[in-house]
């Protein structure tokens, strides 16, 4: 048998590393909103075509530390109008809890209840439950229109809740239970960065 004149040639393919997305800390100076910024976001969202729905979604996400999927998944059976409570279900192995509803929240929920039907609170234009992607897009657009000076994403509302409670002097255990954390280490970030911890360290 004649030997082949063909020679082995090393492949010319070069393995290139996939570029990694920068961490959030490198893209933003902070990962939460202040209460004033949330109110500006709500006021901007009210100007949307479905402004009442959008503003209420932002308000509830902030007041109850809800993730995008959690606020979209809210059902009327979770709203206790008689006792002024919201039964919060968590994802990611979070712990469920019952939160009190304020007068402002109850008024907006009653308005929405009169205008919607079906088991879910927040419905899309097509009559299906709102999804997390649509909510996140709405929040991001509202953040751009509100011109808050930082890039906004929906999870900043949950962080805003945690930092607000920490700055109010709420103890870490209560914040943990309110946000549904299964591990208190996840809650410590809020109390660790609370500006009120350092008040009085220097005096003029």
Closest of 120, 108, 119 to residue 51, by C-alpha: 108
Q: How far apart, in whole angstroms, are the C-alpha atoms of residue 140 and residue 146?
A: 10
Q: How far apart, in whole angstroms, are the C-alpha atoms of residue 67 and residue 136?
A: 10
Closest of 176, 171, 172, 166 to residue 199, by C-alpha: 166
* Three-state DSSP state, 114: helix
Q: How far apart, in whole angstroms, are the C-alpha atoms of residue 177 and residue 96?
A: 8
Q: How far apart, in whole angstroms, are the C-alpha atoms of residue 137 and residue 179?
A: 23
Catalytic residue among 28, 153, 155, 189: 155
* Three-state DSSP state, 129: strand
Active site residue 181: yes
Catalytic residue among 62, 163, 178, 190: 190
Q: Are 6 and 114 in contact (CB under 8 A)?
A: no
Active site residue 92: yes
Catalytic residue among 32, 63, 64, 158: 158
Catalytic residue among 67, 159, 164, 176: 67
Catalytic residue among 30, 47, 92, 113: 92
Active site residue 67: yes
Active site residue 158: yes
Please identify every residue annotated as catalytic: 67, 92, 155, 158, 181, 190
């Amino acid at each position: 048998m004649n030997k082949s004149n063909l020679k082995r040639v090393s492949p010319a393919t070069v393995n290139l590393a996939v570029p990694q997305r920068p961490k959030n800390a490198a893209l933003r100076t902070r990962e939460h909103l202040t209460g004033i910024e949330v109110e500006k976001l709500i006021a901007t969202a009210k100007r949307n075509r479905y402004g009442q729905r959008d503003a209420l979604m932002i308000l509830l996400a902030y007041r109850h530390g809800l993730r995008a999927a959690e606020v979209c998944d809210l059902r009327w059976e979770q709203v206790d109008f008689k006792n002024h409570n919201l039964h919060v279900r968590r994802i990611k192995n979070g712990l469920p809890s019952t939160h009190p509803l304020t007068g402002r929240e109850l008024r907006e929920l009653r308005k929405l209840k009169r205008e919607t039907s079906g088991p879910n609170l927040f419905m899309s234009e097509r009559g299906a439950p709102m999804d997390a992607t649509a909510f996140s897009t709405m929040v991001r657009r509202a953040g751009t229109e509100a011109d808050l000076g930082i890039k906004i994403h929906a999870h900043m509302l949950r962080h805003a809740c945690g930092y607000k409670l920490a700055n109010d002097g709420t103890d870490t255990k209560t914040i943990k239970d309110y946000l549904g954390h299964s591990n208190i280490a996840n809650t410590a970030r809020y109390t660790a960065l609370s500006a009120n911890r350092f008040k009085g360290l220097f005096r003029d």
